[in-house]
Amino acid sequence: MADEVILLDFWASMFGIRVRIALAEKGVKYEYKEQDLFNKSPLLLRMNPVHKKIPVLIHNGKSVCESSIIVQYIDEVWKDKAPLLPYDPYQRAQARFWVDFIDKKMYDTSRKTWATKGEEQEAAKKEFIEVLKTLGGELGDKPFFGGDNFGYVDLCLIPYYCWFYSYETFGKFSVEAECPKFIAWVTRCLQRETVAKALPDEKKVFEFVSVLREKIRVE
Amino acid sequence: MAEEVKLYGTWSSPFSRRIELALKLKGVPFEYIEEDLSNKSPELLKYNPVHKKIPVLVHNSKPIAESQVILEYIDEIWNNNPILPQDPYQRAMARFWAKFIDEKALATRMKANFAEGKERELVTEEFFQQMKFLENELNGKDFFGGETIGFVDIVAIVVAIWFPLTQEVLGVETFTEEKFPVLFKWIRKITEIDVVNECRPPREKHLAYVKARIEGLKSASK
């Protein structure tokens, strides 16, 4: 019986991009359904009644929500190809720890680099750079967070990259100047076809962020 | 080879207590180190430099932090009395509800406890909705894990023990059996389990601690 896989997503969502990369790594065929986040569809509300958010993976009619949970699910179901989480339990725990760190620290801080101004924005910039430096420390001299191979932590972090241009432009700073090693890691990830194809154009994201800023009246 | 298992925790933390419970459920011997959070030990800072928090599990000198990450690790190393289901979809559901409790329910509960006026009404309504979602998940089962306690039950002990206790201290009655009969039936069942009771803070000490904390928070916000 053929698998039916549907992804409810929004083109610019760094969380949705994680799932797209994971599905591509595993070679899973799926139907992509773009969602309007300002006018949520009955399907989205039915499939994620608790959070009403994307991404949602619908696999043979059953929905899985929360991007890091979806990625782990994909890794466990399509386990014969391209393992995303490490094999060793301790390494797996470390991977989960770092994705939890990313989930706790990246989103709110990065959002403030474009959604706030003045002192609040300055503080957010500092914190964001600190977060990247902490991640850079964990990466060390390894090519990827997963070691020699692209894995779960890399996959969960790289989608933020298409938003960096927006953070840097509105926040007036440069990630490369502050964390060059980080950008070297980005370059390695972008050499992967699954990643390069999944990330939207950063200028398009910038246009979208500009509209959002208008909506929330930042200036 | 002898296993060396150490748990750095605090007696009053639900996050720390859930690790004790998991280790006890699996019959894993461990050394417990009580941390003074106002004076963190060099070991804690060494083992969890990123967050500097408890609990931290140290297994054969290798540290693991973040309670849900630790629970999954324990389940993978010691596979008797499994905590997570085998089926990937059931696992995803367990992870979803555990995340919901720690990231949504706890935060909403805190806000509801300290909000005032109209905001309190709104946040309390949000709390009710969240508890309803959680209650519906029980769906005729004894426990979230089915016939025996599992990952979600272990995480949800904060709802079973900490929520009613805080409510008692605050003298409010929002989280009631009347509103959530199924959830309260689960609370009764889970708090009848010996090993759960072995791993809960002693009641009088816990009441006094929560009272003091709430007084402290109230006077700090004046």
CB B46 within 8 A of CB B8: no
pLDDT band at A218 (very low <50, low <70, confident <90, very high): low
Q: Which helix (H) or strand (E) holds B64?
A: strand B62-65
Average pLDDT over residues B27-46: 98
Q: Does A131 touch chain B (CB under 8 A)?
A: no
Q: What percent of chain B has pLDDT over 90?
A: 88
Q: Which of A73, A89, A94 sits opposite B88 (nearest CB)?
A: A73
Which two tokens mark A182?
């980080």
Q: Does A59 touch chain B (CB under 8 A)?
A: yes
At B174 the three-state DSSP class reads coil
Q: What is the DSSP string of chain A?
A: ----EEEEE-TT-HHHHHHHHHHHHHT---EEEE--TTS--HHHHHH-TTT--S-EEEETTEEEESHHHHHHHHHHHSTTSS--S-SSHHHHHHHHHHHHHHHHHHHHHHHHHHH--HHHHHHHHHHHHHHHHHHHHHHTT-SBTTBSS--HHHHHHGGGHHHHHHHHHHHT--HHHH-HHHHHHHHHHHTSHHHHHHSPPHHHHHHHHHHHHHHHT--
Q: Which of B65, B69, B92 sits opposite A69 (nearest CB)?
A: B92
Domains in chain A, ordered, with CATH? 5-77 (3.40.30.10), 89-216 (1.20.1050.10)
Q: What percent of chain A has pLDDT over 90?
A: 96
Average pLDDT, chain A: 96
CA distance B209 to B195: 23
Pairs of CB atoms within 8 A across A/B: 55
Q: Cα distance from B17 to chain A (closest Cα, Å)? A: 19
Q: Cα distance from B171 to chain A (closest Cα, Å)? A: 29
Which two tokens mark B39?
């004076």
Q: Which of B62, B69, B77 sits opposite A96 (nearest CB)?
A: B69
**Side chain identity at residue A87, one-letter code:** Y
User: Would you state the pLDDT for residue B113?
Assistant: 85
Q: Does B28 touch chain A (CB under 8 A)?
A: no
Q: What percent of chain B has pLDDT over 70?
A: 98
User: Would you state the pLDDT for residue A147?
Assistant: 95
User: Would you state the pLDDT for residue A1?
Assistant: 59
Tell me which chain B residue has its CA closest to the CA of residue A102.
B50
pLDDT digits (tens, 9 = 90+) for A166-188: 999 999 999 999 999 899 999 99
